[in-house]
Structure 1
Amino acid sequence: MLLDLAGVIYDGGTAISGGVDAVARLRRAGFSIRFVSNTTRSSKQRVLDHLAAIGLIAAKADVFTPAQAAREWLLRNGRAPYLLVHPGLEPDFHELPSRDKRAVIIGDAGETLTYAVLNDAFRELTAGAELLALATNRTFRDADGGLSLDAGPFVAALEFASLKRATVLGKPSPAFFLSALASMNCPPEKAIMVGDDAEADIAGALRAGLSGALLVRTGKYRRGDEKRFDPPPTATVADLAAAADWIIARSGPD
């Protein structure tokens, strides 16, 4: 089973009611769980610390992030990163070997994403760098409760200007879902995804071959999201607690 984090288990620094207990119920029911997050503002260790602070203990191997996938890509392909990411994510790219060839890695860089740094990234691309997108989400639920621009619009801008297609490393990339499932020896046809993003979480998981995907009405969910993207969710439920009820009632353990 794959669970999104932001918007499903917590919103900002606050746990969503019933979410931590829902994870505990799913574990007691015998389900293996991986947390698949498109966060590009926090290192994996910070994500783990945040989960512990709200009472949810997870091992490092239980959390999959795009930065992890990007680091592995850089090592496999012999490239050094040109980082266009939030400062909070930079620790996930420490201690990489020096390389002559580069790859622009773009995520949600927040207020550091200025014209100057975007233009520098564009020049890296025209000089031969590859383009890696940690995520292509359109929006995210910000700390003030409103929706803010995520990395996707800026990925599209660099693609348009450089005439290069980004390699997408996070959701909705099928490889991201399948890698998380492979870590617990779970075939996609026996897996279910729970998320608040009808495009990246739900449609992405179903395109990757998962047997089901539940959309929760928390986080970035907006009324009508369940009808905006294809394929549509298997079911739309109030929150993770309701999703756990649905899953336990209809499925056996993985």
Structure 2
Amino acid sequence: MTNSGRSEDRTRRSTSEAPARTRRKRDSLNRAVILEAAEAIAERDGLDGLTFQSLGAELGAHPTSMYRHFKDKDELVLALIDSLRDRSYLGSLVPTGDWREDLRIAARVVHEHYLRYPQLAQQMASRTTRMPREFSNMEYTLQAFLDAGFDHADALKYQRVFGNYVRALSSIEAASRCLPEQVRREDELAWRMQFERLDSADFPAITAAGQPPLSIGDASTFDTGLEVLIKGLEALAEAAADQG
């Protein structure tokens, strides 16, 4: 037998022995199944790796079948964000009768949520889903500001300030967690070494502190900032009451 004949024979045997690739039944796909696969891909490969093609490979379905449930990737990502919020927030945002404690609860739930899903933190911080879970969260925090005694205009303004603080710091910490462990360790070491070399004549305030500033992911920073913010809101609420 010639070499070409052997090659063709091997090819035929390989083809016949290879397991047939099975496709998912057309009616077995739904939004919940797709979102579960999207979450797995986003956590494993990041948002850049989340495509309809990668979803098709994950689910054993043709990529175009995703369009029957989501018009594009953006709609898919927003739906994923909302479904993850449901998982994290549902049952947690319960009014306590103390607007300060309500804000603490809201802030900590969001903070923990971002650190639980760091790959999606930037999208969660900067996008609006316009879905029921988002509006429920807004209702909870806005009511806390109204309970503090602010009128609707100020309540909306301070709600935005509060929300931006919580999302910004949470997303910064989440971004740090997305870095490879070795990179984080090297950054921390380099920061400390550079601090020790600073000239007190050039940087008197920094060197007088006697130790490097807290790291980005320091566990106490978020709660400290939250309490500073709440103290400021208390003062503003008292001033508004005095003027009223």
Taking structure 1 as the reference length, the TM-score comes to 0.31
Answer with 1 or 2: which has the greater Rg.
2
Taking structure 2 as the reference length, the TM-score comes to 0.32
Greater RCO, CA 8 A, separation 6+: 1
Which structure has more strand as a fraction of its residues?
A: 1
